[in-house]
Structure 1
């Protein structure tokens, strides 16, 4: 292989061409960095646009998710039979902790791609509350009420209840047969 077919920065063979200003052979990634910024920001051959690495285990697979500096951000678990469905896309972890990718120009969460369309009024719930565990046995279709019952206690919770209203007075409410009921407010909670 000729030296001009290899990137001088990372050794990649991905669409290498000569950058005329510096007379360097650069892969597409480093060529774009030089063209746009006038400098090379990293020496990794990986690109933020490359698809995720998928590691197949005994009865599940892991999608390796890296941040923009190529550090491990998380491992998304999926069922073996879903590999062909997800391997065509680039996945990342959004600000809410869900694994997302772009599908037909729109952002889609991986659990929605795996489970398919759900009827109106239904949601997809992670049984174990782990947003990175998207195996079939950890996903279920539920109503919003059922989904909210599978929540942990909030970090700013002071009373120990699941649906606490932060403030000086406490709202007492509940749910009965898919109807939300509000029973009013109390000033002080003396349960303990």
Structure 2
């Protein structure tokens, strides 16, 4: 505002600067939206649906503790496995899914009559292992923040677990989000939009 209370005219923003900012924003948003493809949302939803039935009435009997451990193991395996799936669109327009191996993509159903691409993109690499391990860490951080799980797995350690779980999920989230952005992945596995 000037001395008379009137607003000062704004300095014109150059077209190049505006374009650069828009391009940077677009790149950041597209990379951030890719995080959704790598987080174990489906597995977490399944875990949260099955946990009340598995944990029972909260008495933490040996059977319910074993069931919780089994559920944790199955869900962690699911997180790990799904990071090694990929897909391609065939000449007929259909999407075909497969498992990524060091030699290339192995489709789930053989005899489809469609040629599987031989690109390097469909070979398993170090980035796949990093993403799978991070997905398991994210799942574990969220699953272990549930009191039904920690009370059964660590009986009598509620205070210590509360202290650990105050910062552990946040640390895992920050580290894994950063690593997901540093190690980009172009997999379009089961549940992701095909290329």
TM-score for both structures, normalised by structure 1: 0.20
Higher relative contact order (CA 8 A, sep 6+): 2
The structure where helix makes up a greater share of residues is: 2
The structure where strand makes up a greater share of residues is: 1
TM-score for both structures, normalised by structure 2: 0.20
